[in-house]
Amino acid sequence: MDKAMPAIRPEALPEIDAREFIKVVQSRRSVRRFTDEPVPDEIVDQCLDLAMLAPNSCNLQPWEFYWIKTDSVKEKIVEACLGQNAARTSQQLIAVVARTGTWRKHCEQQLTEWPDEKIPKIIDTFYKRVAPFQYALGPFGVLGYAKKAFYGVIGLTRPVPRGPYSAAEMREWAVKSTALASENLMLAFRAFGYDSCPMEGFDAVRARKILKLPKDAEIVMFVGVGKRAENGIYNSRLRFSREQFIKHV
């Protein structure tokens, strides 16, 4: 993390002004047109660092961020983003990508990069045995089918894990955590006074090719970044009533 923003140890529980967070959340809008003002690379670096602090499943960090820095690549990506203004006028453009194939390496990394001197037994067992069992699908997905059948029977009498059992469920698994990182990223830009627009309106086949993504990668969204132009927000904010969404059970 940049020297200007020393990393805060979460255990230190710093005093927090909730009003600042509320300002960040409430002032974030999807901005579709940005001004010509550049967004410094150092800001992007800090925002990416904050994105990677997002909570994520089993701490397996199934994300990647393709920061588009080459003009010719950006040109092609803008086209793949269907020419959207939010991509075209962005001063920085990032593809937030979910990976379903990095979990095994990341399990190993948990143990080789464990931050404390001693790896607790439960952690060691989890990343050596539990997680590999949980996420491995086996050749042609047979292990996934077997686990689904096995847990289907055991689950008749007690709670059991219900997936991921298939490639589609693994994709969902990776996308969930990566979407949280995307939100961290956008809020971080807002906190630094910049704006963003998430985009899923793109030609995934073309975008994957341009970015030369590996097979197990899925672009969760592009995030265009910049300073909001006067005509950058297309509509007033609309959210339906909280009663519609919040269920007390």
Ligand X SMILES: Cc1cc2nc3c(=O)[nH]c(=O)nc-3n(C[C@H](O)[C@H](O)[C@H](O)COP(=O)(O)O)c2cc1C
Q: Cβ closer to ligand X: 102 or 182?
A: 182
What is the C-alpha separation between 175 and 96, in angstroms, rounded?
10
User: Position of tokens 């847990």?
Assistant: 151
What is the C-alpha separation between 56 and 52, in angstroms, rounded?
9
Query: Which residue's beta carbon is nearest to the bound ligand X?
Result: 201
Interacting stretch for ligand X, rule CB under 6 A, among 19-27, 34-42, 107-115, 196-204?
A: 196-204
Which of 41, 108, 200, 203 is close enough to bind ligand X by CB under 6 A? 200
Token pair in block for residue 41: 């690379």
Token pair in block for residue 34: 């940005």
78 binds ligand X (CB under 6 A): no
Q: Cβ closer to ligand X: 61 or 85?
A: 85
Which of 46, 57, 61, 84 is close enough to bind ligand X by CB under 6 A? 84
Positions in 227-246 near ligand X (CB under 6 A): 237
Task: Give the other-Cβ count within 10 Å of 55's Cβ.
Answer: 10
Interacting stretch for ligand X, rule CB under 6 A, among 27-35, 71-79, 97-105, 157-165?
A: 27-35
* Sign of the CA dihedral with 190 first, then 195, 196, and 197 last: positive
86 binds ligand X (CB under 6 A): yes
The end-to-end CA distance of the chain, in Å, is 41
| Nearest in space to 182 (alpha carbons), one of 47, 57, 82, 58 | 47
Number of residues that bind ligand X (CB under 6 A): 12
What stretches of 62-204 adopt beta strand conformation (E)? 63-67, 92-99, 195-199
Q: Cβ closer to ligand X: 112 or 236?
A: 236
Which of 221, 223, 225, 226 is close enough to bind ligand X by CB under 6 A? 221
Q: Cβ closer to ligand X: 123 or 229?
A: 229
Which of 44, 131, 174, 199 is close enough to bind ligand X by CB under 6 A? 199
196 binds ligand X (CB under 6 A): no
CB within 8 Å of 215: residues ≥ 6 apart: 101
CA 111 to chain centroid:
23
